[in-house]
Structure 1
Amino acid sequence: MGLPKRDAARHTYGEYLRWPEEARYELIDGVAYAMAPAPSRRHQEVLLELARQVANALEGHPCRPFIAPFDVRLPRAGEADDEIDTVVQPDLSVVCDPRKLDDLGCRGAPDWIVEVLSPTTASHDHILKRAVYERAGVREYWLVHPVDRIVTVYRLDGARFGVPEVCELIGRQSVGVLPQIEIDWDRFAALFPQ
């Protein structure tokens, strides 16, 4: 089951910017998908701990971490911002090229994206967003499954994601494209269901 669509029309980032702030959407190939209601407390705690570890690891480094809501515009070519038809809000993204950052968020693929899965977003993140991130050139994409206590890791191999690596959320795990970041999953123990 996917997230509900706003309507059957095709939209652009220019339209998206004019929509009321209280209604949050992501655009994928012009289709506006309603964002799920506020995530669970556990989702927020997992994201906060991830962001804390990432921010600490990147202190003094040019790469910058961002958490949702943070617009990542993914143009297909050199189209103007108003014409972009794919805008997502990853749970956590790290951008190492400062030229991609502006007051609106990020234009272009972040180096690393993490989505913390919840029942309402799992298929959306696994299928639609994975394809979009691959097409855009995101170098590494993690899907954190708090209930199953696993992480699925996709790394770009040329223009495609290679075979995913699936790991338990135990011990320490380095980010392949940002080896200075090492996630200590043991610090999450109290957040994962038993």
Structure 2
Amino acid sequence: MGIPEKEQTPMTYKEYATWPEGKRCEVLDGKIISMAPSPTPEHQSVSIQLSIEFGSYLRGKDCSVLAAPIDVYLFEDYQNEWIDEKVRNWVCPDLIVVCDKNKIQKNRIVGAPDLVVEILSPATAKIDRMDKRLAYGRARVKEYWIVDPANRLVEVYLPRNGSLELHNVYNHKDSIPVRVLKGLTIDLRKIFQDEA
């Protein structure tokens, strides 16, 4: 989807909050990086299955799992004063795990999640692998997953040398140990359920 000329000027969250309900975008450094259309059924199936696995494990624990759409102020700190007019970086990951409840505000997450999951689509692949991965690294996200439903793979990125670097690639028959949630392993056969 093309970005209207007017919206290419540096944007703040305050301006974004005036948009009609249901119209969403993601912004880094005041620039719109994504105005993706609604996700496909395949994307939603993977998202729901991951939500079930994380949600079941986290029930009664200190961390929370949240699914899109939820805006995340990556570089703000809930302990410091922040105002929407000055926020020029927010994303809407497909799935996040947040272990500091103070980051969960009324309408958004303020600060980096512990784990971020992005589910690829043809329109978002480059953004998820480059722009967002670099931003998540700068924000000190502890674990980043890129889920590829088409190829039934999951790429896991972990912090190294100040950025998020590829740690491992898992196929649809593997299980992934979740680094930020000790004791949780995700069996990808439960996530990619259409296996022949």
Note whether the superposition's TM-score is higher than 0.5: yes
- Specify the alignment match of 2:90 in structure 1: 87
- Specify the alignment match of 1:168 in structure 2: 171
Larger relative contact order, structure 1 or 2 (CA cutoff 8 Å, min sep 6): 1
SS of the equivalent of 2:126 reads helix
- Percent identity (aligned): 37
- Specify the alignment match of 2:25 in structure 1: 25
Ranges in structure 2 where 5+ consecutive residues have no aligned partner:
none
Ranges in structure 1 where 5+ consecutive residues have no aligned partner:
none
- Specify the alignment match of 2:3 in structure 1: 5
Q: For residues 86 and 4 of structure 1, what CA distance do their matches in structure 2 show?
A: 20
- Specify the alignment match of 1:138 in structure 2: 141
Asked whether the 8 Å contact 2:174–2:187 carries over to 1, the reply is yes
CA 1:98 to 1:35, structure 2 compared with 1: closer, same or farther past 3 Å?
Answer: same
Does structure 1 residue 101 correspond to structure 2 residue 99? no
TM-score, normalised to structure 1, is 0.90
CA 1:122 to 1:163, structure 2 compared with 1: closer, same or farther past 3 Å?
Answer: closer
Q: Deviations over 1:110-160 (max 9, x none)?
A: 000001111111111111111110111110000011111211111113532
Q: For residues 105 and 99 of structure 2, what CA distance do their matches in structure 1 show?
A: 13
TM-score, normalised to structure 2, is 0.89
- Specify the alignment match of 2:157 in structure 1: 154
Q: For residues 145 and 29 of structure 1, what CA distance do their matches in structure 2 show?
A: 27
- Specify the alignment match of 1:15 in structure 2: 15
SS of the equivalent of 2:54 reads helix
Q: How does 1:122-133 map to 2 (within 5 A)?
A: 122-133=125-136
Letter in 1 for 2:130: I
User: How many residues end up aligned between the 2 structures?
Assistant: 191
CA RMSD of the aligned region, Å?
1.9
Q: How does 1:67-82 map to 2 (within 5 A)?
A: 67-75=67-75, 78=80, 80-82=82-84
- Specify the alignment match of 1:35 in structure 2: 35
Letter in 2 for 1:81: I
Q: For residues 119 and 51 of structure 2, what CA distance do their matches in structure 1 show?
A: 12
